[in-house]
């Protein structure tokens, strides 16, 4: 529909540049304690997802599904922050942990990835069945935002969501794999490589301990886990063969949300920073690629899942102000 520049976000002067904006949340933000209830959702293929609920239990209270990013979890501070902000306006929320991200390895050799919209679809069906009277919305960050937009494009008018917000989306996974290998962004790449390799090794240990020789064999056939320095390496050797893609390029092409945007029929807001150190500026979609019900809110600054404002003594979190505000406006329509 349109691309807009929002005047309401004023980047914190004491966090100049995209990297400090990006690193504040994971490295410096104080934790947000929340009382949550965990539910285990068993999937059709025998695996599971863990869901963490917060807020009112009323059957008709608006419910927001929150999707974390790569190597994150429902305990990521931006997830906790938005759940707290939603509760403050009387809304319920449930944070999804992608496969193996809840602190316990998942049961199958496969894991999660940037195109895992089938897991999102099962979760949405579960939530609609559990709270059929509640208006259902979704918020996705980074990888979670890519999965969300892909799902919205695939499902069209049948998304079962009343609205959606995606933040810091890696619209073109191939280009983002290139971008994160440049300059200071290689620091993020090295972090992700360590975390993703550890994710696979932990499952190998679990399968060996539990005597699941067939599942262990599936992972061992992928080859040694050393020597992977880039996303192209990991996705070519691990992600693609584990999830039915022929190679990394095939995975990137079939999973990149940019190719699904014109089919979205759910009111959607995309919040993006032009200086995102994970995403090239030319990876962002043109206005002509967006469906009529999608708005791209593009900020000059903000980093990747950053958008920190305020003072050093009282940092502000624009996303936790903007997202509940936009969702409430949708609910009032």
Q: Check pLDDT > 80 for residue 1.
A: no
Average pLDDT, the chain: 96
Percent of the chain with pLDDT over 90: 96
pLDDT tens, 9-51? 999 999 999 999 999 999 999 988 899 999 999 999 999 999 9
Q: Check pLDDT > 50 for residue 270.
A: yes
Q: Check pLDDT > 90 for residue 5.
A: no
Q: Check pLDDT > 90 for residue 7.
A: no
pLDDT tens, 150-189? 999 999 999 999 999 999 999 999 999 999 999 999 999 9
Instruction: Give the distance from CA 237 to its chain's centroid.
Output: 22
More confident residue, 145 or 2: 145
The pLDDT of residue 2 = 53
pLDDT tens, 138-149? 999 999 999 999
pTM: 0.96
Q: Check pLDDT > 50 for residue 229.
A: yes
20: exposed, middle or buried (Cβ count in 10 Å: 0-12, 13-18, 19+): middle
Instruction: Give the distance from CA 239 to its chain's centroid.
Output: 17
Q: What integer is the mean pLDDT of 106-125?
A: 97
> So which residues are the catalytic ones?
142, 276, 304
Q: What integer is the mean pLDDT of 230-246?
A: 98
**26-30, 108-112, 258-262, 278-282: segment of lowest average pLDDT:** 26-30
pLDDT band at 333 (very low <50, low <70, confident <90, very high): confident
The pLDDT of residue 188 = 97
Q: Check pLDDT > 90 for residue 276.
A: yes
Contacts of 242 (CB under 8 A, 6+ apart): 109, 110, 111, 218, 222
- Alpha-carbon distance 45 to 135, whole Å? 28
Q: What integer is the mean pLDDT of 226-238?
A: 96
Where do we find the tokens 């902000």?
Answer: 85
Q: Catalogue the E-assigned strands of the chain.
A: 2-4, 37-42, 48-54, 63-67, 92-97, 136-141, 163-167, 268-273, 294-299, 308-310, 315-317
């Amino acid at each position: 529909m349109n691309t807009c520049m929002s005047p309401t976000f004023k980047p914190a002067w004491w966090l100049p540049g995209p990297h400090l904006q990006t690193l504040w949340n994971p490295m410096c933000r104080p934790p947000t304690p929340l009382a949550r209830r965990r539910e285990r959702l068993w999937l059709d293929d025998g695996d599971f997802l863990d869901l963490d609920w917060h807020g009112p239990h009323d059957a008709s209270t608006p419910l927001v599904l929150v999707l974390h990013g790569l190597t994150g979890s429902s305990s990521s501070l931006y997830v906790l922050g938005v759940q707290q902000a939603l509760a403050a306006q009387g809304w319920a929320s449930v944070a999804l942990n992608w496969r193996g991200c809840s602190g316990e390895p998942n049961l199958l050799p496969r894991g999660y990835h940037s195109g895992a919209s089938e897991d999102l679809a099962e979760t949405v069906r579960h939530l609609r069945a559990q709270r059929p009277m509640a208006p259902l919305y979704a918020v996705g960050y980074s990888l979670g935002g890519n999965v969300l937009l892909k799902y919205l494009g695939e499902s069209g008018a049948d998304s079962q969501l009343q609205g959606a917000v995606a933040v810091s989306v890696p619209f073109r996974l191939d280009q983002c794999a290139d971008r994160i290998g440049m300059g200071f962004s290689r620091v993020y790449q090295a972090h992700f490589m360590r975390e993703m390799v550890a994710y696979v090794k932990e499952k190998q240990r679990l399968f060996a301990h539990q005597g699941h020789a067939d599942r262990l064999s599936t992972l061992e056939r992928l080859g040694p886990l050393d020597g992977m320095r880039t996303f192209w390496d990991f996705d070519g050797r691990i992600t693609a063969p584990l999830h039915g893609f022929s190679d990394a390029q095939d995975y990137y092409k079939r999973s990149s949300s940019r190719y699904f945007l014109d089919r979205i029929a759910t009111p959607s807001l995309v919040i993006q920073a032009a200086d995102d150190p994970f995403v090239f500026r030319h990876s962002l979609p043109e206005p002509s690629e967006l469906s009529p019900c999608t708005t791209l809110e593009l900020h000059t600054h903000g980093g990747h899942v950053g958008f920190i404002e305020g003072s050093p003594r009282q940092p502000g979190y624009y996303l936790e102000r903007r997202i509940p505000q936009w969702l409430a406006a949708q609910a009032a329509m």
